[in-house]
Chains A and B, each alone.
With several copies, the nearest count.
Chain A
Amino acid sequence: MSSEFNIGRKNKNNSSDFPNPFARVTDTTCRECHHKIKREKLVEELQVCPECGFHMPMHPYDRIATLVDEGSFTEFSQELTSLNPISISGYEEKLTQARGKAGLNDAVVTGIGSIDGRQTVLGVMSFQFMGGSMGSVVGEKITRAILKGADEGLPVTLVTASGGARMQEGIFSLMQMAKTSNAAALLDGLGIPLFIVLTHPTTGGVTASFAMLGDVSIAEPGALIGFAGQRVIEGTLKEKLPEGFQKSEFQLKKGFVDMIVPRAEMRKTLSFLLKTHESESKGWMSR
Chain B
Amino acid sequence: MDESVIQSKIEEIKVLAEKENINISKELDHLKAKYAPSSEDTWEKVLLARNIDRPNTLDYINLICDDFVELHGDRHFGDDPAMIGGIGTINGQAVTFIGHQRGHNMKENIERNYGWAYPEGYRKALRLAEQAEKFHRPVVTFIDTAGAYPGVNAEERGIGEAIAVNLKKFSVLKTPIISFIIGEGGSGGALGIGVSDKIYMLENSIYSVISPEGFASILLRDAERAKEAAEIMKVTAQDVDEFGIVHGIIPEVPGGAQIDPAFTAEEIKKTILKDLKALMSKTPNQLIRYRSKKIREIGHVNENNAKVQDLFGIFGKVFGRS
Which residues of A pack against B, CB within 8 Å?
Answer: 77, 79-86, 88, 135-137, 139-140, 143-144, 147-148, 150-151, 165, 167-179, 181-186, 188-191, 193, 204-205, 207-213, 215-216, 226-229, 232-233, 236-237, 239-242, 245-246, 252-259, 269, 272-273, 275-278, 281-282, 284-286
> Is there a chain A Cβ closer than 8 Å to B94's Cβ?
yes
Residues of the B chain whose Cβ atoms lie less than 8 Å from the Cβ of A204: 188
Taking A79-B303, A177-B163 as given, write out 4 further A-B residue pairs in contact, using a Cβ cutoff of 8 Å, ordered by the A residue number: A144-B312, A175-B298, A209-B164, A228-B154
Classify chain B: how many residues form its interface, as a range: 35 or more
B148-169 contacts to A (CB < 8 Å): 148, 150-152, 154-161, 163-165, 167-169
Residues of the B chain whose Cβ atoms lie less than 8 Å from the Cβ of A88: 232
Q: Please measure, in the bound complex, the distance between the C-alpha atom of A144 and the C-alpha atom of B171, giving whole angstroms.
A: 17
> Is there a chain A Cβ closer than 8 Å to B221's Cβ?
no
**Which 6 residue pairs spanning A and B have beta carbons closest together?**
A255-B73, A136-B299, A228-B150, A181-B167, A227-B160, A207-B160
Q: In the complex, are the beta carbons of B301 and A81 less than 8 A apart?
A: yes
Q: In the complex, are the beta carbons of B209 and A208 less than 8 A apart?
A: no
Q: In the complex, are the beta carbons of A258 and B318 less than 8 A apart?
A: no
> Is there a chain A Cβ closer than 8 Å to B300's Cβ?
yes
Given A179-B296, A191-B135, A255-B78: A232 and B71 interface contact (C-beta under 8 Å): no
Chain B residue, CB-CB nearest to A153 = B317
CB-contact partner of A285 in B168, B284, B317, under 8 A: B284
Q: Please measure, in the bound complex, the distance between the C-alpha atom of A208 and the C-alpha atom of B154, giving whole angstroms.
A: 12
B257-306 contacts to A (CB < 8 Å): 280-281, 283-284, 291-292, 295-296, 298-304
Q: In the complex, are the beta carbons of A83 and B300 less than 8 A apart?
A: yes
Q: Please measure, in the bound complex, the distance between the C-alpha atom of A102 and the C-alpha atom of B75, giving whole angstroms.
A: 34
A96 CB to closest chain B CB (Å) equals 15
Given A150-B314, A178-B191, A179-B299: A254 and B78 interface contact (C-beta under 8 Å): yes
Given A151-B312, A165-B210, A228-B159: A211 and B69 interface contact (C-beta under 8 Å): no
Q: In the complex, are the beta carbons of A167 and B301 less than 8 A apart?
A: no
Residues of the B chain whose Cβ atoms lie less than 8 Å from the Cβ of A171: 207-209, 233-235, 240, 243, 245
Q: In the complex, are the beta carbons of B317 and A190 less than 8 A apart?
A: yes
> Quick one: which of B77, B136, B208, B308 has the most chain A CB within 10 A?
B136
CB-contact partner of A255 in B120, B148, B192, B240, under 8 A: B120
Which residues of B pack against A, CB within 8 Å?
Answer: 67, 69-79, 87, 89, 94, 120, 124, 131, 134-137, 148, 150-152, 154-161, 163-165, 167-169, 171-172, 174-175, 187-188, 191-192, 194-195, 207-210, 214-215, 218-219, 232-235, 240, 243, 245, 280-281, 283-284, 291-292, 295-296, 298-304, 307-308, 310-314, 317-318
Q: Please measure, in the bound complex, the distance between the C-alpha atom of A202 and the C-alpha atom of B79, giving whole angstroms.
A: 21
> Quick one: which of A171, A177, A188 has the most chain B CB within 10 A?
A171
CB-contact partner of B299 in A77, A139, A185, A190, under 8 A: A139
Residues of the B chain whose Cβ atoms lie less than 8 Å from the Cβ of A242: 152
Q: In the complex, are the beta carbons of A239 and B243 less than 8 A apart?
A: no
17 contacting pairs across A/B (C-beta < 8 A): A81-B302, A137-B299, A172-B299, A177-B188, A178-B171, A182-B195, A182-B291, A208-B148, A208-B163, A212-B160, A213-B165, A228-B155, A255-B158, A272-B67, A272-B69, A273-B69, A276-B137
> Quick one: which of A77, A144, A240, A276 has the most chain B CB within 10 A?
A276
Given A207-B160, A208-B188, A211-B164: A172 and B150 interface contact (C-beta under 8 Å): no
Number of contacts between A and B (CB, 8 Å)?
A: 279
Q: Please measure, in the bound complex, the distance between the C-alpha atom of A71 and the C-alpha atom of B219, giving whole angstroms.
A: 41
Residues of the A chain whose Cβ atoms lie less than 8 Å from the Cβ of B165: 212-213
Given A172-B298, A177-B188, A276-B87: A233 and B152 interface contact (C-beta under 8 Å): yes
Residues of the A chain whose Cβ atoms lie less than 8 Å from the Cβ of B192: 208
B196 CB to closest chain A CB (Å) equals 10
Q: Please measure, in the bound complex, the distance between the C-alpha atom of A255 and the C-alpha atom of B72, giving whole angstroms.
A: 6
Given A172-B300, A232-B150, A255-B77: A189 and B283 interface contact (C-beta under 8 Å): no
Q: In the complex, are the beta carbons of A276 and B300 less than 8 A apart?
A: no
CB-contact partner of A254 in B73, B168, B195, under 8 A: B73
Q: Please measure, in the bound complex, the distance between the C-alpha atom of A216 and the C-alpha atom of B157, giving whole angstroms.
A: 18
Q: In the complex, are the beta carbons of A258 and B234 less than 8 A apart?
A: no
Residues of the A chain whose Cβ atoms lie less than 8 Å from the Cβ of B317: 150-151, 190
Q: Please measure, in the bound complex, the distance between the C-alpha atom of A232 and the C-alpha atom of B152, giving whole angstroms.
A: 11
Residues of the B chain whose Cβ atoms lie less than 8 Å from the Cβ of A273: 69, 87
Residues of the A chain whose Cβ atoms lie less than 8 Å from the Cβ of B284: 285-286
B210 CB to closest chain A CB (Å) equals 6
CB-contact partner of B136 in A86, A252, A281, under 8 A: A281
Residues of the A chain whose Cβ atoms lie less than 8 Å from the Cβ of B163: 177, 208-209, 227
Residues of the A chain whose Cβ atoms lie less than 8 Å from the Cβ of B75: 255-256
Residues of the A chain whose Cβ atoms lie less than 8 Å from the Cβ of B78: 253-255
Q: Please measure, in the bound complex, the distance between the C-alpha atom of A254 and the C-alpha atom of B207, giving whole angstroms.
A: 31
Chain B residue, CB-CB nearest to A89 = B232
Residues of the B chain whose Cβ atoms lie less than 8 Å from the Cβ of A83: 300-302, 307
